[in-house]
Amino acid sequence: MARIRPYRPTDRAAMYEICLKTADAGGDATGILSDDDLWGALFAVPYVERHPDLAWVVEGDDGRAIGYLVATDDTDAFYAWFRDVWWPPFRERYPRPEAVDGRESRLIDYAYTREPGAEPHAAAYPAHLHIDLLPETQGQGMGRRLVETLFDELRRRGVPALHLGMDPANAGAAAFYDRLGMTRLAETPGGITYGVRFDDEAGAR
């Protein structure tokens, strides 16, 4: 039986792997980019470096990490740290593209534009999360349990609200967030943003 536990530093390599295996709208993104590690360097590992206290792992019967949730309770502060601390060591490995003309160049350019104020929903919905589950983990209620674990912690900290962005091609994820009672804040060709408030629970449900 799979179980949820706090993130451990020994899970770091698994974070890269799980992120890669779920990055293509929930499917395996291996080989889509010239460097498979870029996914994890953007969407998983910086969170466990900055906020290990807001990261949980799904552990399988064999002890492998097979899913995770990572988060920040302050998006603008996280983006300042990402810009000033996390991303500079990657600049030589991933130089900013001169032209943004494909998936890889868009992702790299996105890294260079992560800074306070870049996320329009951060002021009203300061927390955000990323959650990824390998196929073997899905259908067991682990996603809901991970999200509820985070929400309980954010409420305890007095965080008023959370947002998250997702690929609109990932219909399963959209259905999951709809079932959780989250509200669609914005929808564009490149993404869907959901939000949930904790300071007005009656209005959020």
Per-residue pLDDT reduced to its tens digit, 136-188 = 887 789 999 999 999 999 999 999 999 999 988 888 888 999 999 899 998 87
Looking at residue 202, its pLDDT comes to 46
Residue type at position 13:
A
- Whole-model pTM: value is 0.93
Biggest CA–CA distance in the chain, Å, is 48
pLDDT surpasses 80 at 189: no
Structure token digits, residue 79: 């983006």
Residue that is written with structure tokens 């943004």 in the block? 100
Split at pLDDT 50, 70, 90, the class of 57 is very high
Please give the domain boundaries of the chain with CATH numbers for all domains. 3-204 (3.40.630.30)
pLDDT surpasses 80 at 131: yes
Contact 101, 54 (CB under 8 A): no
Comparing 70-79, 94-103, 193-202, the range with the smallest average pLDDT is: 193-202
Structure token digits, residue 177: 């967030």
Looking at residue 187, its pLDDT comes to 84
Average pLDDT score over the chain:
94
pLDDT surpasses 90 at 14: yes
Looking at residue 18, its pLDDT comes to 98
- 3-state SS, the chain, equals CCEEEECCHHHHHHHHHHHHHHCECCECCCCCCCCCHHHHHHHCHHHHHHCHHHEEEEECCCCCEEEEEEEECCHHHHHHHHHHHHCHHHCCCCCCCCCCCCHHHHHHHHHHHCCCCCCCCCCCCCEEEEEEECHHHCCCCHHHHHHHHHHHHHHHHCCCEEEEEECCCCHHHHHHHHHCCCEEEEEECCEEEEEEECCCHHHHC
Looking at residue 204, its pLDDT comes to 39
pLDDT surpasses 60 at 205: no
Return the ∠ at Cα 190 (arms to 188 and 193), rounded to 5°: 60
Altogether, the residues listed in the chain come to a count of 205
